[in-house]
Amino acid sequence: MAGPLAWTVDLDDGLAVVVVRGTLVLGKAEQLRVALLKCLAEQPDALLVDLAALEVADDTALSLFTAVSQQAENWPGTPLLLCAPSPPVAELLERGRHGNVPVYAGVAQARRAVAEGRAAVPSVTDELLPIAGAVRHARNLVTEACLAWDLPELVGSASLVVSELVSNAVEHAGTMMTVRVTRRGRYVHIAVRDGSPREPVAGTPGSLSDRGRGLVLVNTVAEHWGSLPTRDGKVVWATLAAP
């Protein structure tokens, strides 16, 4: 056996590269899944998982990669690419018994696919100051993105969502923020990352309090929304479906 399961994470040039070593067993799959989801919270252009030093004791555990890939499709639209599996692991992945995830011969090939636009998804990003004008700038950003992707019908709902997420960041975080808009298939993902670890709290419909009222609107318009902690704060995201 190759030893206990372990991994390292390297955030480099817009990519998250996770090198996994050891033996994958079902009991440790959840820990690796959580680690990969934390990588997604950093909003890389792609998440590359190097499997060259991985052995699989229970092939059922490979379903963790499918679960992470599905989460990435819902948000933030980040492709998950598996790299350099050994022949036995590659054979298990090829069977597709636990879902299909793109597999590349090596990390270099996966990097090239991302650089050439064959793996990464269309996205726009901007850094905003925590000032009142940030909301208007964010609305302009999502409007231009929706029109560029030929999704004019999403302009209204996308503008509403980004307005609420940015307003919350300005009011409650008061830090620099990153707004990212991503398109994946028929979905548009909107994410606002700030420097505060304080989680957003949605109010209840009809509440007299202003706190969380905007997130009620987000919950009404979006297919899904949520938040995840990052290394230096949090990211709040929402997914919209085109009609």
pLDDT of residue 208: 42
The answer to the question of residue 79 being in a domain is yes
Do 130 and 234 share a domain, yes or no?
yes
Range of the domain at 59: 6-115
Do 103 and 158 share a domain, yes or no?
no
Domain end residue (candidates: 65, 86, 115): 115
Do 15 and 107 share a domain, yes or no?
yes
Domain end residue (candidates: 115, 140, 170): 115
153: domain CATH number is 3.30.565.10
- State how beta strands 15-24 and 6-12 pair: antiparallel
The structure tokens listed for 157 are 């709902």
The answer to the question of residue 148 being in a domain is yes
Do 189 and 237 share a domain, yes or no?
yes
Do 111 and 23 share a domain, yes or no?
yes
Domain end residue (candidates: 115, 137, 164): 115
Q: What digits encode the pLDDT tens for the residues 205-217? A: 554 445 456 788 8
Do 137 and 108 share a domain, yes or no?
no
The answer to the question of residue 1 being in a domain is no
Q: What digits encode the pLDDT tens for the residues 50-95? A: 999 999 999 999 999 999 988 877 667 788 999 999 999 999 999 8
Mean pLDDT for 163-190 is 91
The answer to the question of residue 150 being in a domain is yes
Q: Is the pLDDT of residue 204 over 60?
A: no
Do 109 and 54 share a domain, yes or no?
yes
Distances (CA, A) of 69 to 62, 72, 78, 84, 179: 12, 5, 8, 17, 22
The count of structural domains within the chain is 2
> Which residue type does 89 have?
V
87: domain CATH number is 3.30.750.24
Do 80 and 144 share a domain, yes or no?
no
| pTM score over 0.95 | no
- Mean pLDDT value across the chain: 89
The structure tokens listed for 170 are 């300005």
> Which residue type does 196 have?
S
